[in-house]
Amino acid sequence: MNDYKLKILRNEKAGDGIYEMLLSRPVGVQPKGAQFIHIKLKNGARVLRRPFCICDCTDEGILICYAVVGEGTKELSQYSVGEEVEAVLPLGNGWSAEGYKRPVLLGGGMGSAVLPLVARLAGGAKPTAYLGYANKGRVVLDKLMESLCPTIVATDDGSFGRKGYITDILAEDITAGKIKPDVIFCCGPEIIYKLLLKNPAFADIPVFVSLEKRMGCGVGACLVCTCGIKTKDGVKNLRVCADGPVFDLREVIL
Ligand SMILES: Cc1cc2nc3c(=O)[nH]c(=O)nc-3n(C[C@H](O)[C@H](O)[C@H](O)COP(=O)(O)OP(=O)(O)OC[C@H]3O[C@@H](n4cnc5c(N)ncnc54)[C@H](O)[C@@H]3O)c2cc1C
Ligand code: FES
């Protein structure tokens, strides 16, 4: 992990209020799937860096995909090609599908941003992606995922792909025997995690989740990002930035 100056190679709209930014890749840096990047904003009044999943990493560069939700992401969306940003990467524990046979990569909304690099680095595993979005305007990264593995897309309102909540669609496909995942790796809103715990279709499948918490330092020092995790010594407050962001869902106190 290091602090780098990265050149912006692309920064364009990818959906309603969603942007993709391609950054130059520092020599020798190979992030693992589900690691993240911590970007310093140029407006010095915005002191805290902003965390984003490393969506993809190729010879072309490092891709992030971000929704504009506040002042920091709005500022990011206004940066031009050729400018430089300071960023620390790669951060977090990451996750690999290697060693599994049939992983399902499950993304809810912007949570899908963590999946392309996981699929790219899946080794001998044969992943299938299930991506759920609110509506057609919010669908992003589907083409990239399709280029990496079989991909099912759904929208809550049926305006693109299959209609319904992505957890219900995955549960339907498992129950119908269309897919037999030996692990699920998921990133999305908390409701998805609760449904994964509740629906009996997922009862026998290991589930790993990439958590999002408000972050300060991003490197394990400030304890802003802690989350209760069940360990053999009882529940411990672990740091999502340094001990995570990936945890076994059944150990997370939601
Ligand atoms: C490890 C990690 C990876 C992330 N990856 C992505 C990604 O790939 N794409 C993406 O669009 N976003 C991602 N996020 C969320 C992203 O960091 C925030 O949306 C961003 O920092 C908001 O900055 P802002 O200044 O625009 O908003 P702020 O003004 O700080 O906040 C605006 C709104 O966003 C919410 N928010 C702010 N930070 C977070 C956060 N960390 N998690 C959840 N909600 C938040 C606030 O509660 C508020 O409602 C990730 C967060 C973490 C912790
Ligand atoms: S953000 Fe500081 S410890 Fe995680």
Number of neighbouring beta carbons within 10 Å of residue 78: 11
Q: pLDDT grade, residue 1 (50/70/90)?
A: confident
CA of 183 to the centre of ligand 1 (A): 27
Residue 122 has φ and ψ, to the nearest 5°, of -75, -5
C-beta 225 within 6 A of ligand 2 = yes
Torsion sign (Cα): 113, 114, 116, 117: positive
pLDDT cut 90: percent of the chain above it: 100
Residue 108's pLDDT is 98
| Cβ–Cβ under 8 Å, residues 97 and 122 | yes
- What does the pLDDT look like over 202-219, one tens digit per residue? 999 999 999 999 999 999
Instruction: Delineate the domains of the chain, giving CATH numbers in brackets.
Output: 2-91 (2.40.30.10), 95-210 (3.40.50.80), 213-247 (no CATH)
CA of 79 to the centre of ligand 2 (A): 26
Closest-approaching ligand to the CA atom of 50:
1
Ligand 2 atom, smallest distance to 225 CA: 4
Q: What is the mean pLDDT of residues 170-179?
A: 98
CA of 121 to the centre of ligand 1 (A): 25
What are the beta bridge partners of residue 84? 7
C-beta 73 within 6 A of ligand 1 = yes
Q: pLDDT grade, residue 103 (50/70/90)?
A: very high
Give the global pTM: 0.97
* Mean pLDDT for all residues in the chain: 97
C-beta 239 within 6 A of ligand 2 = yes
pLDDT at 171 over 90: yes
Residue 59's pLDDT is 97
Q: How far apart are CA 227 and CA 183, in angstroms?
A: 23
- What does the pLDDT look like over 13-50, one tens digit per residue? 999 999 999 999 999 999 999 999 999 999 999 999 99
H or E element that contains 155: strand 151-155
Residue 142's pLDDT is 98
| Cβ–Cβ under 8 Å, residues 245 and 34 | yes
C-beta 72 within 6 A of ligand 1 = yes
Q: How far apart are CA 122 and CA 237, in angstroms?
A: 30
Q: What is the mean pLDDT of residues 81-109?
A: 97
Q: What is the mean pLDDT of residues 231-248?
A: 97
Cα dist from 141 to 19, 59, 138, 198, whole Å: 11, 18, 10, 28
Angle at 64 between CA 152 and CA 128, to 5 degrees: 20
- What does the pLDDT look like over 113-151, one tens digit per residue? 999 999 999 999 999 999 999 999 999 999 999 999 999
C-beta 70 within 6 A of ligand 1 = yes
pLDDT at 237 over 90: yes
Closest-approaching ligand to the CA atom of 36:
1
Six-digit token string for 216: 């300060």
Pocket test for ligand 2, best of 224, 238, 243 (most atoms within 8 A of CB): 224
CA of 188 to the centre of ligand 1 (A): 12
DSSP codes joined into one string, 22-82: EEPPPTT--PPTT-EEEEEPSSTT--S-EEEE--EEETTEEEEEEE--SHHHHHHHT--TT
Residue 179's pLDDT is 98
C-beta 171 within 6 A of ligand 2 = no
